[in-house]
């Protein structure tokens, strides 16, 4: 692909992204093709591609990855990253504390700012 600064290089890059994202290939090949396309663009134009096009290329690479948004509910022992673990631990309440809440709190939901601080109800 040729991206020259004299022509509309952003539109031609968008067309190249369109063409690339329609092709079916293994993940390793996709990564190589995306890398080659971005390197050619940067070398010829001298700037980083548009954020939208980079996002489209990223989605193309991750199209059939094993990224499952609801993996916690579908697997018995899910692997959580640090941010997911922090969110989960902030939402969980020890079973001993659940019995001490009123019916209204249980119905509306329990809101904690921090585990050790006093409880908040919604």
What was the pLDDT predicted at 5?
Answer: 64
Q: What is the mean pLDDT of residues 97-107?
A: 59
Taking every pair of Cα atoms in the chain, the longest distance, rounded to a whole number of angstroms, is 72
Would you say 31 and 41 are in contact if contact means Cβ atoms under 8 Å apart? Answer: no
Work out the pLDDT band at 119, boundaries 50, 70, 90: very low
Q: What is the mean pLDDT of residues 93-112?
A: 59
What was the pLDDT predicted at 116?
Answer: 45
Cα 34 from Cα 57, distance rounded (Å) = 7
Work out the pLDDT band at 56, boundaries 50, 70, 90: very high
pLDDT per residue over 22-47, tens digit each?
Answer: 999 888 999 999 999 999 999 988 88
Which pair of tokens denotes residue 25? Answer: 């290939």
Q: What is the mean pLDDT of residues 8-13?
A: 88
What was the pLDDT predicted at 10?
Answer: 87
* 121 beta partners: 110
Which residues contact residue 87 at a Cβ distance below 8 angstroms, ignoring those fewer than 6 apart? none
Of the two residues 69 and 48, the one the predictor is more confident about is 48
């Amino acid at each position: 692909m040729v991206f020259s600064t004299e022509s509309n290089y952003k539109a031609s890059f968008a067309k190249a992204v369109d063409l690339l994202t329609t092709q079916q290939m293994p993940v390793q090949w996709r990564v190589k093709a995306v890398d080659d396309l971005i390197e050619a663009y940067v070398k010829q134009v001298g700037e980083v591609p548009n954020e939208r096009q980079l996002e489209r290329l990223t989605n193309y690479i991750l199209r059939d990855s094993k990224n499952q948004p609801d993996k916690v509910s579908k697997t018995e022992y899910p692997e959580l990253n640090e941010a997911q673990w922090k969110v989960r631990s902030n939402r969980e309440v020890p079973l001993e504390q659940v019995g001490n809440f009123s019916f209204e709190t249980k119905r509306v939901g329990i809101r904690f700012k921090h585990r050790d601080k006093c409880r908040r109800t919604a």
